[in-house]
């Protein structure tokens, strides 16, 4: 079976990637499987910079093709926060529950009509000696006033998707893949997939 390495430590992302890549015939491996000690510091100020940083560092270390994902939630009423700081919004311990609480508190006085937001995802595909390529995707939604659903990860329980009429955390991995920022970015990657992603390694 073909394999794809995703430079992530996030188990929730890994599940999303499995739902997206298994139909394409790939087994998904993450840093947890291939290089657990590799933790890249995310010093970039854009999703693109961080995705490239993670992909190139891990591709160099493993000497093979690697995909990295940098993603996050942009809330209009908070001027685009938490953005690239989504994972560590409530502190370096990266706690999904604390991050959600902080968003809900910051939006406590904000009416429904102004709770618009979007998830963004930038994927970087890197390989030693090759030009890195990036693909981006987004997904529009509205921030709920409380949690709904128990699937997914991160901010999924407070992210309502109007086109489906459900919170992201109420969707199965396959349903999420069909409409998510990550799914949209992977579909772009797939349609202009650099041949070198096909390497069987
Ligand atoms: O860097 P890696 O190891 O991939 O894992 P991470 O969790 O640190 O990932 P990011 O730096 O890209 O931060 C993304 C954060 O944005 C949020 N996020 C991204 N995609 C999401 C999704 O599909 N659903 C819910 N929250 C998401 C979530 O809080 C993530 O921790
Ligand atoms: Mg990270």
Query: Which of 69, 87, 144, 185 to mutate for ligand 1's pocket (most ligand atoms within 8 Å of CB)?
Result: 87
Q: Say yes or no: ipTM exceeds 0.95.
A: yes
Residue having the nearest C-alpha atom to atom 1 of ligand 1: 8
Residue having the nearest C-alpha atom to atom 27 of ligand 1: 154
- Decide: 148 and 155 in contact? Cβ < 8 Å: no
Residue having the nearest C-alpha atom to atom 18 of ligand 1: 72
Which pLDDT score is estimated for 24? Answer: 85
Identify any residues that bridge with 26 across adjacent strands, giving them in sequence order. 2
Show the DSSP H helices in 8-46 as ranges: 11-21, 31-34
Among 138, 139, 136, 140, which residue's Cα sits nearest to residue 192? 136
Q: DSSP letters along 63-86, please? A: TS-EEEEEEEEEEGGGTT-BGGGG
Torsion, Cα 65 131 88 46, to 10 degrees, reads: -160
Q: Which CATH class is domain 2-198?
A: alpha beta
Q: What residues does ligand 1 touch, defined as CB less than 6 Å away?
A: 8-10, 13, 42, 69-73, 86-87, 96, 99, 119, 152-156, 180, 182
- What separation in Å is there between the alpha carbon of 72 and the centre of ligand 1? 6
Which pLDDT score is estimated for 198? Answer: 58
Nearest ligand by distance to the CA of 51: 1
Identify any residues that bridge with 13 across adjacent strands, giving them in sequence order. none
Identify any residues that bridge with 133 across adjacent strands, giving them in sequence order. 125
| Domain residue ranges in the chain | 2-198
Which pLDDT score is estimated for 39? Answer: 85
Q: Which segments of the chain have a pLDDT < 70? A: 194-201
Which pLDDT score is estimated for 197? Answer: 65
Catalytic residue annotation: 70
Going from the C-alpha of 109 to that of each of 63, 112, 132, the distances in angstroms are: 50, 10, 43
- What separation in Å is there between the alpha carbon of 71 and the centre of ligand 1? 5
């Amino acid at each position: 079976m073909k394999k794809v390495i995703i430079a992530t430590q996030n188990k929730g992302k890994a599940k999303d990637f499995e739902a997206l890549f298994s139909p394409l015939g790939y087994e998904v491996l993450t840093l947890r499987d291939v290089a657990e000690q590799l933790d890249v510091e995310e010093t970039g100020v854009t999703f693109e910079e961080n995705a490239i940083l993670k992909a190139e560092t891990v591709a160099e270390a493993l000497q093979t093709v690697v995909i990295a994902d940098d993603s996050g939630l942009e809330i209009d009423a908070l001027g685009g926060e938490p953005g690239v700081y989504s994972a560590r919004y409530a502190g370096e311990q990266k706690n999904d529950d604390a991050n959600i609480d902080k968003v809900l508190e910051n939006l406590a006085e904000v009416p429904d009509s102004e709770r618009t937001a979007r998830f963004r995802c930038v994927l970087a595909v890197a390989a030693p000696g090759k030009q890195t390529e990036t693909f981006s995707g987004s997904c529009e939604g509205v921030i709920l006033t409380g949690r709904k659903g128990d699937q997914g990860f991160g901010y999924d329980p407070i992210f309502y998707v109007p086109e489906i009429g459900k919170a992201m955390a109420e969707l199965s991995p396959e349903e999420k893949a069909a409409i998510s920022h990550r799914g949209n970015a992977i579909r772009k990657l797939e349609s202009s997939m650099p041949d070198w992603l096909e390497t069987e390694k």
